[in-house]
Structure 1
Amino acid sequence: MAHQTFPSNKNIYRCPQLHGLTTSCVATTILVQLDLVSPFQLYFNPLLIIKHYQIWRLVTTFLFFGYVGFNFLFNMIFTYRYCRMLEEGSFRGRTADFVIMMLFGGACMLCCSMFCSLPFLGQAFTIMLVYVWARRNPFVRMNFFGLLNFQAPYLPWVLLGFSVLLGNSILVDMVGIAVGHIYYFLEDVFPQRSGGIRLLKTPRFLFTESPSLWFWVASLPH
């Protein structure tokens, strides 16, 4: 898989969002694998959310990567790796800002899903994390399965190509890339331009509440 050619940071940093997200994904997959929960109870369906108040679908659409197999393991590894590197890197000490990125990205993907009919958005969410990390680390050299060497900004596109080779829809990855680019532009590019401002300001209450936010999300009924 893709990895950097420089040594990783050995300092352990507490990542509440990472732990909450990965635990929720694994728990959801186990429940489905054991037939305790059906994927039909998890996918994003605006009509069921509005008419039958199945609000949990706003969350569970991001937590199911399919049954245990290569696709599940591949997505979980990338989710864990790049979520952790973001929290230990550009979001270190900025937990609330990281929560805002996840909420903003999730909201944008849900809006896209209403027009693109994407039932599950976990893979798109992973690609968004990869895209933001890649754009913030443009000079990092990457290696993909020992076959390709390239700069970090190309990683999302390499993953998109790999996904196509596996027979997956290109639309899911494109949504993740698009949302990641929107966030990167609003957070890193636009504020640096003449007359630009930071539009994604973090609410003050999140500075104290954000460490427990993902654990609250994980407790929502599936």
Structure 2
Amino acid sequence: MAFQQEYFAIPPITRAYTTTCLLTTLAVQLDFVTAYQLYFNPELIFKKFQLWRLITCFCFYGGIGFNFFFNLLFTYRYCRHLEEGSFRGRSADFLFMFLFGGILMIVMALFVNIVFLGSALTIMLVYIWSRRNPYVRMNFFGLLNFQAPFLPWVLFAFSLLLGNSVIFDLMGIIVGHIYYFLEDIFPRQAGGFRVLKTPQFLCWLLDEGSHRAHENEAHPDVVGGNAGLGAGGFHWQ
């Protein structure tokens, strides 16, 4: 009962996405489906109309192991921070951010050899959260102290040190910055205007058509303090 209460206390979009990622990985692990049925393949999508791949390519982080738990934990944490913070009461805008980022990544994936995009989406979430929380102090292994906007680059450097491909980090950072610039920076510049407008049908479905008073404002989650995260050998504080 306590678990059920905690689970349904998670904001709906965060709950839906992280649950989908977990169930997709378990389905592959238990051989209900194979990764070959899920990965991004333009030919199968646009010629065979296997449209589900446009979604499943964002929901599989690989087999259960360190990479899976690392990505799932970061996705859950920063997705929830955003949904409960700068997107509080704006579920339609939050979903539109996912759609915008996902579409850009799919376009980019047409030109690079990437078949699963979930890791890049995670970095995008981290990037947007970090730019909207510039004063949060973080700590890496008790050795490196930095402010939140450097977090995506710390993760980039860590991937580089581990010998992992950094294309996912770069893609997430690029897409995250494009969204941040169009949503938070450009509208505030002289002559600027809001480029990204959430479709009205999403507002009707998710926000009950309510008027969002802060539609044209930037929405920082917090203005200071510390953020903590323990994940394996990591300790973010």
Match of 1:93 among 89, 93, 98: 89
2: CA distance, partners of 1:151 / 1:206? 34
- Equivalent AA in structure 2 for residue 196 of structure 1: G
Q: Deviations over 1:161-219 (max 9, x none)?
A: 112223221111100000000000000000000110101011121113237xxxxxxxx
Counterpart for residue 192 of structure 1: 188
Q: Does structure 1 retain, via aligned residues, the 8 Å contact 2:10–2:80?
A: no
Normalization by structure 1: what TM-score?
Answer: 0.87
What is the aligned-residue identity percentage?
62
Q: Deviations over 1:48-80 (max 9, x none)?
A: 001111100000010000100000000000000
**Structure 1 gap segments, 5+ residues each:** 1-11, 212-222
Match of 1:178 among 174, 177, 180: 174
Counterpart for residue 40 of structure 1: 36
Normalization by structure 2: what TM-score?
Answer: 0.82
Q: Does 1:79 align with 2:75?
A: yes
2: CA distance, partners of 1:203 / 1:48? 28
- Equivalent AA in structure 2 for residue 77 of structure 1: L
Match of 2:98 among 94, 99, 102: 102
**Structure 2 gap segments, 5+ residues each:** 1-7, 208-237
Q: Does structure 2 retain, via aligned residues, the 8 Å contact 1:99–1:210?
A: no
RMSD: 1.3
More helix by share: 1
1: CA distance, partners of 2:10 / 2:73? 18
Counterpart for residue 204 of structure 1: 200
- Equivalent AA in structure 1 for residue 74 of structure 2: F
Moved over 4 A (4+): none
2: CA distance, partners of 1:76 / 1:64? 10
C-alpha spacing 1:72/1:14, structure 2 compared with 1 (3 Å)? closer
